[in-house]
Structure 1
């Protein structure tokens, strides 16, 4: 299990999508959305097939948050210079976690410090 840390605080369990298949599926066709999903080597995402809005953050290689968006169903978050990964979560999650532009997101194995 992997945990998501935001600005040094453990905030959620994160599903890591590091393969082509996992990235292509994303949050589609899930009975229950994951608390968060980290897309490795993706700089943009789309909401085609989604029925609910999602919070989306575009991340630099060091995990710093370059941009934050609300992705509506069938919407698009375009690529952003410097973005290498994307973080998604159900809408409203980022506000609860305090995730904002300039902050830092990290993937941390459960049971270890961030």
Structure 2
């Protein structure tokens, strides 16, 4: 994919992923990488920002003698996801219109 994926799209992707189940950080990266060419160094700042904004909460679980930090979407995170989805639809419609030569609003 040659077009750069915006931070807001990545945030929305993480929030959407977490609506189905909780994931630990590396698993989130692995799932998002199925769709977008990203690295762990890209994903962890996004996770920190989402947590700072209270759109995610975290908890730790033991796994093979270590703790894994799991991320869970909050109610305000669900609201944020709906906002991102709406913004995406508006951007997608505008982009489709201009790329397809529909220059009228």
Short-chain TM bin: under 0.3
Q: In proportion to residue count, which structure has more helix?
A: 2
Which structure has the larger Rg over C-alpha atoms?
2
| TM-score normalised by the chain length of structure 2 | 0.26
Structure holding more strand per residue: 1
Q: TM-score, normalised by structure 1?
A: 0.25
